Amino acid sequence: MKAHSLSLICLALLVSGCISNEPQLGVQDKEAAAAYNLQLGIDYFSQGNLVQAKEKLDRSLVQNPKNAQTHAAAGLLYERLNELDKADQYYSRAVDLDSGNGNLLNMYGVFLCHRGEWARGEKLALQAANNQLYKTPEMAYYNAGSCAQDAGKSQLAEQHYRRALEVNQKFSSALLRLAELKFTANDFMSARGFLDRFHAAAQATAESLWLGARIERSSGNESPATEYIRRLKTEFPASPQAAAVLEAERKK
């Protein structure tokens, strides 16, 4: 086999062991070796090989225990393993080591919100959003909104979603959440407006079509509601929303 072909295979099959040793240039440089093992750990994690991911991340942490990115990666790993207390410790340490990193603040905030620690999660997400070096503040505002919404604070959630749209008026995730909030509040005209903006910015989803059907049906507009249902069953036949529609139709 030609050398360049072998190199391509080793690159594509990194997780299978084509590269088993740290590069020689990194042997005398713990930070370089730690960065190398961090990348290997991330690669293994992305492939679903959690055992090897843990091994590489553990090694990276020994080589450089002050690398915030490695602590965050370890947090993600333990979150996947459902060892949430350990995950919390690693995420927290990552933020302690690099408190000005918007990505880390946002990541930890999302984790806390998923654990039901809504106030702390929202606070961290907003810190990320207000970081002038953070490249996607709309995502952090959206996460803060999700946290507030999960905590039952709909008005506060709406404020955060609207802030996300101030940054990026075509941010589809925030548009859909606002459509949902307005529908829940029986403000069907506003709900329709946000949903129309969502469909102009992104492809329809089973969730958005089902929401559209409910908005129109609640507004007394049976024809567009029927069209939303038709599209839902045609474009997303395996979705839970389509299954619910079919079940309701069978019961009529």
Q: Check if the beta carbon of residue 128 is closer than 8 Å to that of residue 117.
A: no
Look at 27 and 164; give whichever has higher pLDDT: 164
Same structural domain for residues 144 and 93? no
Domain assignment present for residue 178? The answer is no
Structure token digits, residue 43: 């690669």
- pLDDT tens-digit map of 13-66: 332 333 334 455 444 488 899 999 999 999 999 999 999 999 999 999 999 999
- Give tens-digit pLDDT for 107-134: 999 999 999 999 999 999 999 999 999 9
Question: Which pTM was predicted?
Answer: 0.84
Mean pLDDT, residues 74-98? 97
Q: Residue 246's domain spans which residues?
A: 197-252
Count of domains observed in the chain: 3
Spatial distance between the Cα atoms of 136 and 201, rounded to a whole number of angstroms: 17
Q: Residue 21 class from Cβ within 10 Å (0-12 exposed, 13-18 middle, 19+ buried)?
A: exposed
Residues 35 and 94 in one domain: yes
**Domain-embedded: residue 177:** no
Helix (H) or strand (E) holding 235: helix 222-235
The verdict on 35 and 86 lying in the same domain is yes
